[in-house]
Chains A and B, each alone.
Chain A
Amino acid sequence: MKTVLYVLLAVCVVSLGFWAYHENYKTQDAMAEAEAVQTRIGDARARLAVLRAEWAYLNRPDRLRDLAEINFDALALLPLQPEQFGRVDEIPYPPVQTQLPLIDPATSEAITVEEGSL
């Protein structure tokens, strides 16, 4: 009986040790992964900062003005003028769309649809 107990205890200790080491390695792996992700985030942020700087540089007003002048033939862009403001009532309402009548394919006759039945 005692031997069984000792064997069981030994198995228990070994399996606990195995579990503990396993958890330890898992933690280390997770930390290494977190570090790698952290580095990637840092790199992505650095890249984002460069792209933002480049975007701002490419969109600087001087350059856009020059581009608008160079491409005047194609785009005809001019500075915003006071006359370009409009009022809402200057815009015509979109014309009412008249729908074509539904046609019954069997008889090729128009089906009259009651108002509100659709």
Chain B
Amino acid sequence: MIRTPLRPLARILEARARGDNPDAIERENLAARHEAMYDRDRGRAESRLFVLGLCFFAAFSTISIRMGVLAGTAPAEPTVSAAGVEIATQRAEILDRQGRILATNLETSALYAQPPMIVDPARAATELARIFPDLNAAALMEDFTGKRKFLWVRKVLSPEQQQAVHDIGEPGLLFGAREMRLYPNGALAAHVLGGASFGREGVSAAEVIGTAGIEKMFDDRLRDPARAAEPLQLSIDLTIQATMEQVLDTGMKLMNAKGAAGVLMDVHTGEVVAIASLPDFDPNERPAPPTKGNPSDSPLFNRAVQGVYELGSTFKIFTVAQAMELGLVNPDTIINTSSPMQWGKHRIRDFKNYGPTLSVEKVIVKSSNVGTARIAQQIGAERQQSFLRSIGMMEATPLEIVEAKGGKPLLPPRWPEITTMTVSYGHGISTSPLHLAAGYAMIANGGTVVAPTLLRHPAAQQGARILSPETAAAARQMLRHVVTEGTASFGEVAGYEVAGKTGTADKPKETGGGYHKDKVIATFATMFPVSNPQYVLIVTLDEPVNTTGPEPRRTAGWTAVPVAAEMIRRVAPLLGLKPQIEPGRLSDITLTSN
């Protein structure tokens, strides 16, 4: 390129001859050069922008094509990487506290039919009806020859049934892979486990979703693919649960009860080691919820958690423990117990007349309603309510099964003084046996609140302190005397220092208005061994009658207590508790003077 000079001599001379300013020519040329430079730079910038734009276009189209491909292709399992092999099942197992299986998965098949592909519909229908007696050959024949292109025949097959269907040799009968939930122990811990069923179903797979109990509560966690290899460990012990259910079942039959519930709980960690409600069901074939009748009569109903009952005299120890904690009474304070006690239009009476006065300890040992009501009067409604609230008697238990929310205590709408008095001996307030277990665990562990849990939790809970250790020890001593010299004399188990309190409450009529005369809820709330309590056991029998004597006996001392004692005798060795030789009672100090 030939560079144009800014001051071309020819034009300068020409301009000078004309008398013009030659600088104007220079400026003109300079401007023209700048113009040319500007044009060149602009062109270069444009081409750079174009290249940059191309780069962006390429990058974005790569991303979008990749996204389109990822969205459009079927997911594939990574075949080469070592990760991912842990996932074997779609739902995590549930284990007991010692790692024994409570719920697992089993690969099985579902049977479906494609009628257009069936060669011999008549034979297929008759053969299927022979293999599965609940199928109707005529109905199947109708389906196979009708317009339908697809139908499910069975949701799950056993391997034997699958082989039998294979042997029919019909090309229109096909199998789809299924993973089903299996509870190998049958009805054991049925109310805890709940059950599972199929959710959305496809030909090659189906979701398994929890329908009740802990399966539903932890459905998301159990179905989380990242944690499918990590089993959910419960605090339940399989052996102890089995023993509890067996003893409870025998006890229920011996005492002619229509239902029973049992709770065994660790007093320090709050772990529920066994929890049973009878009658029960098989979670492998969970029955449909009842559509008529009283839902609490269904085997699906969890009496230990959902069932709220007036648990009667078992509540007295809370009243007395609170009064001792407040410094209102001590175990030897004398209480007026003349029965019946008239309060307004209400009359409180004892099971039988225990005389005009009793010490606080004797009020518990003899189970005097009047004595407890008088102590509650000293406590007052407000303090009583806050005490019951602090030990969790006012709301549903935090147990990790969905049914626990349904076990909300029934509380009196208002709390006048007469309510304070009846609540003090467990009437007018309905709670579940599990609530009672948590309350007794508080007394047993020295006065701190524990929340019942179904998950393995080896460390002791650090709950709020409700009672001083001394008060809790005094309350335990009273409960011990209930067994050694009071209403629960059948509860003594040699070597295990059982302490506890009986409770017999008349059942309220379902139609409302008053109580049944001959239907009771008998409860025995107990802890053992009392010198260093480890476990709390609650046994509740629904409408028990002990007919071994000349006349039917319904009190807890004759019904729930023997069942609980047998349970402790069987369960305590399994819990690893060694029988202790109890120190003899010190002889009373006699005041003498000389």
For chain A, the count of residues having a C-beta within 8 Å of the partner chain is 26
Answer whether A46 and B107 are a contact pair too, CB < 8 Å, given A38-B85, A53-B101: yes
Whether the Cβ atoms of B188 and A60 lie closer than 8 Å is: yes
Return A44 CB to nearest CB of chain B, in Å.
Answer: 9
A52 to B88, CA, bound (A): 13
Q: Does B461 contact A (CB under 8 A)?
A: no
Q: Which residues of B contact A84 (CB under 8 A)?
A: 573
Return A101 CB to nearest CB of chain B, in Å.
Answer: 45
CB interface residues, A 102-118, toward B, < 8 Å: none
Whether the Cβ atoms of A50 and B106 lie closer than 8 Å is: yes
For chain B, the count of residues having a C-beta within 8 Å of the partner chain is 32
Which residue from B88, B184, B573, B578 sits with its C-beta under 8 Å from A60?
A: B184
Output the nearest chain A residue to B108 by Cβ-Cβ distance. A50
Whether the Cβ atoms of B573 and A52 lie closer than 8 Å is: no
Answer whether A81 and B246 are a contact pair too, CB < 8 Å, given A53-B184, A62-B186: no
Q: Which residues of A contact B496 (CB under 8 A)?
A: 82
Whether the Cβ atoms of A46 and B88 lie closer than 8 Å is: yes
A41 to B239, CA, bound (A): 33
Q: Does A17 contact B (CB under 8 A)?
A: no
Output the nearest chain B residue to A62 by Cβ-Cβ distance. B186
CB interface residues, A 1-60, toward B, < 8 Å: 31, 34-35, 38, 41-42, 45-46, 49-50, 52-53, 56-57, 59-60
Q: Which residues of B contact A56 (CB under 8 A)?
A: 100-101, 104, 184-185
Which residue from B89, B104, B573 sits with its C-beta under 8 Å from A85?
A: B573
Whether the Cβ atoms of A31 and B79 lie closer than 8 Å is: yes
Which residue from B105, B188, B494 sits with its C-beta under 8 Å from A61?
A: B188
Q: Does B242 contact A (CB under 8 A)?
A: yes
Q: Does B288 contact A (CB under 8 A)?
A: no
Return B122 CB to nearest CB of chain A, in Å.
Answer: 36
A77 to B497, CA, bound (A): 27
Whether the Cβ atoms of A35 and B106 lie closer than 8 Å is: no
Q: Which residues of B contact A74 (CB under 8 A)?
A: none
Return B286 CB to nearest CB of chain A, in Å.
Answer: 18
A58 to B216, CA, bound (A): 27
Answer whether A82 and B79 are a contact pair too, CB < 8 Å, given A60-B184, A61-B239: no
Among all A-B residue pairs, the 7 with the closest Cβ atoms: A61-B242, A56-B184, A56-B101, A57-B184, A45-B88, A82-B579, A80-B573
Spell out B's residues near A (CB within 8 Å): 79-80, 85, 88-89, 100-101, 104-107, 182, 184-186, 188, 238-239, 242-243, 246, 493-496, 569-570, 572-574, 578-579
Contacts beyond the supplied A46-B107, A61-B188, A81-B573: 20 A-B pairs with Cβ under 8 Å: A31-B80, A34-B80, A38-B85, A42-B85, A42-B88, A50-B107, A52-B101, A53-B106, A56-B101, A56-B185, A60-B185, A60-B188, A61-B239, A62-B188, A79-B570, A80-B573, A81-B569, A82-B569, A82-B572, A85-B579
Spell out A's residues near B (CB within 8 Å): 31, 34-35, 38, 41-42, 45-46, 49-50, 52-53, 56-57, 59-62, 65, 79-85
